Structure 1
Amino acid sequence: MFILIGKIAYLFIWLFLLFNLVHPYPAPANIIAYVSLATFIILHGLQACLLNATLTNHEKKQYPYRILKIFLFGIFEALSWKQNKQ
């Protein structure tokens, strides 16, 4: 349940930050949103690269969208991997 709530929260954060690209917020908020979006992209991209390096070729072929899910949902997707393996 905690993982699902975290994934939904991340989805809303992504939507909030991407909405700023389409319809910019007022002056100080738009800069914060741009910086937050850049930070989110960098951190989630690094996390996706690191977790992609831990996957075997079989796992990469078996779950082709796993890296995209890691990029979108971050640590909550990694926690769901751990939960599914137990």
Structure 2
Amino acid sequence: MWINLGRLMMVLVWCFLILNVIQPFPRPLKYFFDVALIFMVLMHVLQLLLLKISLTKNEPKFTILFQIRMFLFGIFEMLAWQKKLRRP
């Protein structure tokens, strides 16, 4: 339940940051949210790359859908993935 709530919050943050690109906020906030969007994209790409690099050869490769979800939801998708791996 908490993971899904985190995913919902992440979608709202993405929408808010993309709204700033489509219709910019007043000047001081515009620059802050532009930097926040760039930082969020970089951190999610870095997280995805580090996860892909840490895979061993025995583990299955990530699907494109999983990679997109990992990029969009970040840590919340990683927590869901780890929870799914721990189940017997």
Question: Normalising by the residue count of structure 2, what TM-score does the alignment of the two structures yield?
Answer: 0.86
Q: Which residue of 2 aligns with 1:60?
A: 61
Instruction: Report deviation, 1:56.
Output: 5.6
Contact 1:52 / 1:67 at 8 angstroms: preserved in 2? no
Unaligned runs of 5+ in 2: none
Distance in 2, Cα, partners of 1:38 & 1:25: 16
How well do the aligned residues superpose, as a CA RMSD in angstroms? 1.6
Residues 1:84 and 2:80 aligned together: no
Unaligned runs of 5+ in 1: none
Number of paired residues?
Answer: 85
SS at match of 2:61: helix
Distance in 1, Cα, partners of 2:51 & 2:5: 22
Q: Which residue of 1 aligns with 2:40?
A: 40
Query: Larger helix proportion, structure 1 or 2?
Result: 1
Distance in 1, Cα, partners of 2:2 & 2:12: 16
Distance in 2, Cα, partners of 1:70 & 1:22: 24
Distance in 2, Cα, partners of 1:15 & 1:54: 30
Identity of aligned residues (%): 34
